[in-house]
Chains A and B, each alone.
Chain A
Amino acid sequence: MANKTVTADLPPPAPTSPSERIHVRELVKTFTRRGSEVTAVDRLDLQIRTGEFFVIVGPSGCGKTTLLRMLAGLETPSGGVIDIAEPGGDLPAHSMIFQGDSIFPWMTVWDNAAYGLTMRRRPKAEIREIVGHYLDKTGLTRFARSYPHELSGGMRQRVSIARAFSNDPDILLMDEPFSALDEQNKTLLQDELLRIWDETKKTVVFITHSVDEAVTMGDRVMVMTSRPGRVKKIVDVPFERPREVLELRAQPEYGELIHEIWGSLRSEVLEAQEREQLASLRGRS
């Protein structure tokens, strides 16, 4: 299930070392919008290690979601290489937790959480055990037979988390999973996600626009430049695990890290804003 896009002018991919899960080289994504070509991701290089919680922050429109969608195989790169190490057995390479509502309104919570396993035709007993486990972990057991419209936004995103973890993928891709939630729900879910993740230690690629969230969740935080998206800086987050969101935020190093990342991000956000304003001005005339 590895995602490989090789352009002719690149040397053959170097063998990924065992500690490396994802190796991205010279990745380019362009698309045409209203006749003109836009470069969303520009010659991006990136290595993500096995078992790390890798967070990408960037201003809106910097191509971070495009990058994640390419990793997920939902978009085709325009150039460059994405190397994802083959998982053993018949495990899926990656599962995504999407931004906003992505659980099927026509399925119960249970069927939603079981979706990946059902699609892979796993034995019934196995599905029952795994899905039961993750519904329990996400506090959804009581709602197993409910439909999404009967749940709150936070609960629905929990279903999405349960669905991704139940699928038992090698890598979890998360696209701003909590951005639609209010502050309190967000904090709760960050805690829960960290707790579930601590049990499995799967490789995670997590997209966010929140520096707070990035420092809370990540082992490493990558700052992306405003369009076209490139790697501006990668910051190590040294906090020990298991982490607790509130305790973490009380530490002085937490503030320092936020400060550091913000310092790097600020100019990119300003640039993105300027670009948006220009675009809206142009759209008006």
Chain B
Amino acid sequence: MTALDAGPRTEDAGAPPPVRPRRSRTAWLGSDRFLAVATPVLVLVLWEALAQVGIIDTRFFPAPSAIVVRGVEMLASGELVEHTWVSVRRLLIAILIGGVPALLLGLAMGLSRKLRAALDPIIAATYPVPKSAIFPLFLLVFGLGEASKIAVVAVGVFYPIAVNTVAGVREIAPIYHDVGTNFGARRWQVFRTIAFPGALPLILTGFNLAFGMALMLLVVAEMLGAKSGLGFLIWNSWQTFQVENMYVGLVVISLLGFLFALLVKGLEGVLVPWRKR
């Protein structure tokens, strides 16, 4: 990652002693990391300025500073922590309930042609159905309590993980299965030493996609049938026209998504150290 000596090299013996090319003082301004931080900051500063001057309507787009102030207030009152915790808890339970069966079924389907033949059509047919569309059904079946919200998110999580796991197993080169057979790996050993590690990169991609889906469904479910959680916070703020609170909810959701993506990336480094990067 050191692109310091990018200057031209002079190898000519008669030439004056080569001046060591120096990195210019402003080079960091063009670095990727700086740009990644600078753009959002710029947007926020612009937004703040426009709000302060009154060019944009602060009833709809309150100044970032006002949102921060409100966020701190909500943190202090414990309101924000409570809503966030309720949502995170639902997310984690749903990911567990939806993700683990999806992972196991995906591995089994990836390995077995028969199982794929039996289940592929069902999955292909139900995959495109927006899971939010079946939330009313879940409300009927599971009632207004926690179960209906967790169930709809779990179903939403199931698909991307199952589909990606199947694809991950299918992508493993056949030669590795030959090696397993030739070295006497039993069914469970093939599962553990070939299918799972070989599919892991795509499984993690599946989890990443699943989390986006989970956030979306959770917010919808909480808007429609909950008395707590970030979705409820946003919906309730709208109904009482507390626009700053709404933005606080949005910021927390985007932070959650960001943190989860970081977590998956970290996991990737630990679990898939063999991947060329």
**Minimum CB–CB distance for A97 against chain B, Å:** 10
Contacts of A100 in B (CB 8 A): 175
Selected contact of B176 from candidates A94, A104, A119, A167, CB within 8 Å: A104
Q: Is the CB of A105 within 8 A of B183?
A: no
- B273, CB-defined interface residue at 8 Å: yes
- B30, CB-defined interface residue at 8 Å: no
- A73, CB-defined interface residue at 8 Å: yes
- A165, CB-defined interface residue at 8 Å: no
Residue of A nearest to B173 (CB): A101
- A148, CB-defined interface residue at 8 Å: yes
A92 to B273, CA, bound (A): 31
Contacts of B10 in A (CB 8 A): none
Selected contact of A72 from candidates B182, B194, B272, B275, CB within 8 Å: B182
Q: Is the CB of B178 within 8 A of A98?
A: yes
| CB-CB under 8 A for A106 and B198, given A73-B181, A98-B179, A119-B184 | yes
Selected contact of A120 from candidates B184, B200, B272, CB within 8 Å: B184
- A128, CB-defined interface residue at 8 Å: no
Which residues in chain B, 246-277, are within 8 Å of chain A measured between CB atoms?
Answer: 272-276
Residue of A nearest to B180 (CB): A119
Selected contact of A119 from candidates B178, B185, B200, B272, CB within 8 Å: B185
Q: Is the CB of B179 within 8 A of A115?
A: yes
- B189, CB-defined interface residue at 8 Å: yes
Contacts of B225 in A (CB 8 A): none
Q: Is the CB of A95 within 8 A of B182?
A: yes
Contacts of B184 in A (CB 8 A): 92, 116, 119-120
Number of interface residues of A (CB under 8 A): 24
| CB-CB under 8 A for A98 and B175, given A106-B272, A120-B184 | yes
Q: Is the CB of B183 within 8 A of A74?
A: no
Contacts of B176 in A (CB 8 A): 102, 104
- A147, CB-defined interface residue at 8 Å: yes
Q: Is the CB of B273 within 8 A of A74?
A: no
- B197, CB-defined interface residue at 8 Å: yes
Contacts of A116 in B (CB 8 A): 183-184
Contacts of A74 in B (CB 8 A): 178, 181-182
Q: Is the CB of B181 within 8 A of A106?
A: no
A105 to B199, CA, bound (A): 12
**Minimum CB–CB distance for B138 against chain A, Å:** 38
Selected contact of B200 from candidates A98, A106, A107, CB within 8 Å: A106
Residue of B nearest to A105 (CB): B274
- A149, CB-defined interface residue at 8 Å: yes
A149 to B200, CA, bound (A): 17
**Minimum CB–CB distance for A167 against chain B, Å:** 6
Contacts of B200 in A (CB 8 A): 106
Q: Can you offer 26 A-B residue contacts whose CB atoms are under 8 A?
A: A74-B178, A74-B181, A74-B182, A92-B183, A92-B184, A95-B182, A95-B183, A98-B179, A101-B175, A102-B178, A104-B179, A104-B193, A104-B197, A106-B198, A107-B197, A107-B274, A115-B179, A115-B193, A116-B184, A119-B180, A119-B185, A119-B186, A119-B193, A147-B274, A148-B274, A149-B276
Top 4 nearest A-B pairs by Cβ distance?
Answer: A106-B197, A147-B274, A116-B183, A96-B182
